A and B are shown apart, each in its own frame.
Chain A
């Protein structure tokens, strides 16, 4: 037993050395996850801070100018054009110069003064309907603010029911707070799966795997020795992303590190198991890469990070129960933002533990029976 452990340790050491001795390989382990977190932290956001808009003010009165001033003063809307004719709206929207066109009719001021509802038309570029809907939401907020001031200054009663909005765990509803904790899982899966699959496939392609098999190592020990460095590197990469989230983006961490690492540990084990399975079926690095890619793709798209799982059709929703990333994203987000405890996360942790057991078990069976 002790001899076996020593052999595994020796092999793991050799694997780590092989991985870290090449500068390019070393860089490709740590740099991409950190770089990706940084870029995606800035880029992967549904929040808008720059909405170009064009305005067609057919009224021109003081009230309409005040409304437009509200847009200009919002810090989000940038006026890119003052239009004279409705026909110009088409060219501003079609040419992507403006995301929103605001049309204030000629009876705007008159209606307001007489206490009738005054309409404002807003036309949004629906090429990206999600962005457009967000921009329209911001625009409605500007109009709401105008309404409140107008009511106050004209002694009108407020609406009978006001809506008081709050959001838990992410008070300003910043997409970044949702995305970056989710990236901990996504990037870790991408790297560990690929790394594990390639490390065995490389030896098989280069023929050194047969050399390993004639050493006193038993196949199971080879597997463990291959898996250990990958698990270690996976956890280090997850830590790297976690550090960027906290130290660079200052997203407050609400949970306990123990819970997070317990969840991530199970997740890394499951992804290493998947990687070993992939490598058992591939004879070349290219095949290993391809199969990993074929797995990572659906896993990351159906993880619930970019689009909600609740929106998927039932068949795909059932598929997500087999997706380790689904649980990892959930664990990372909930521990990070909500401070959810270990017990409450059990529904996420036990599927991962089972997946780790099944994949590692299947891989070791294959290593034991097929690769000799």
Chain B
């Protein structure tokens, strides 16, 4: 008896495996023949990688500025030289304020440095002023430019002081700052891990949502349900091929991060892999859920954009600091898987295997995965009934 039962259950398992395998084969074929899937799964990641890697950079260098030279003393010329030597500026000398203002209005320069008349005399008296006017329409850039301009003035003062001149240079307290994990302040170091988050979101959530919504729209999903295949098996058959596509995207991203953009991987590869698999699964789940809930391609794609891709860009902490967002917005970010994945990736890439960061974030993703799995089972059952 018992032998019988165990052999029959074993054959049941075998039949189940066979059904899932067939489904996977069918889905993979369908995916390969669909130009849209290939476009989102392979073409889009490659475009994103190239755009991000080469197009986006927050590093400031060679900023065009107008230097208004209203004084022609050696002091003023030396200060000008300090701007000319700085790698951050590309000064353009003008003689009057109106000329400089015109350059700003034509957007030929991003700022004005004004060395006023009597500069040398005022330096000797110890109360000289240099005016720096930044073009505020790009706030972030302007702030960085202001910082570098101050640096250029300070470096001139200290070089004067070094030549034995009696100018009070740096203040009584001098700040020595260091940037850990990214000593040269290369913005690729945080943009490229952010890019991986975006690509994984696209493949995981967006692609699944579109594909499954189309199946609901065309009624081919219901057609699957009348076959002997169980709903859990359908889920498995659907997710595994797209999961595979996600892994291909991940490989592309990690390879280009390492070898094209030279972002260091200081943690271990398997942590990166596990975290990414977890995130792709969560994304797949969200895509499945949304598409099964609305069953309409247009609405599904808009919802997934709104719920996954946009937040991954804006609310994940990869571009904008989460700590500075208002409480209500910050509360939303806790519900977004991208937030945890960004923390995981930034840490694995730039810091190393810091378990006290990795474990809580991975745990949050796991909990989400559990909830989404349960929910999608529930929805599938309801849809069947």
Contacts and interface: CB of A to CB of B under 8 A. Distances in A.
B141 interface: yes
B139 A312 contact: no
A42 B351 contact: no
B168 A169 contact: no
A250 interface: no
Interface residues of B, number: 108
Nearest to B167: A160
B142 A167 contact: yes
Identify the interface centre among B173, B180, B181, B314: most chain A CB within 10 Å of its CB.
B173
Contacts of B36: 286-287, 290
B6 interface: no
Contacts of B321: 46, 48, 128, 131
B55 A122 contact: no
Given A118-B174, A161-B157, A311-B59, A128 B190 contact: yes
Contacts of B182: 126-127, 129, 132
A85 interface: no
B98 interface: no
Interface string B162-196: 00000111111111111111110111011000000
B178 A316 contact: no
A228 interface: no
Interface stretch (A238-246, A268-276, A297-305, A364-372): A297-305
B179 A50 contact: no
Interface stretch (A10-18, A149-157, A217-225, A353-361): A149-157
B44 A297 contact: yes
A198 B298 CA distance: 8
A112 interface: yes
A342 to B, nearest CB: 14
A24 B294 CA distance: 10
Given A42-B326, A122-B178, A307-B57, A130 B187 contact: yes
A184 interface: no
A306 B126 CA distance: 41
B306 interface: yes
Interface string B108-144: 0010000000000001001111111111111111111
Contacts of A124: 177-180
Given A166-B131, A301-B51, A137 B174 contact: no
Contacts of A20: none
A161 B131 contact: no
Interface in B3-55: 35-36, 39-40, 43-44, 47-48, 51-52, 54-55
Contact of A168 (B129, B133, B172, B324): B133
Contacts of B328: 42
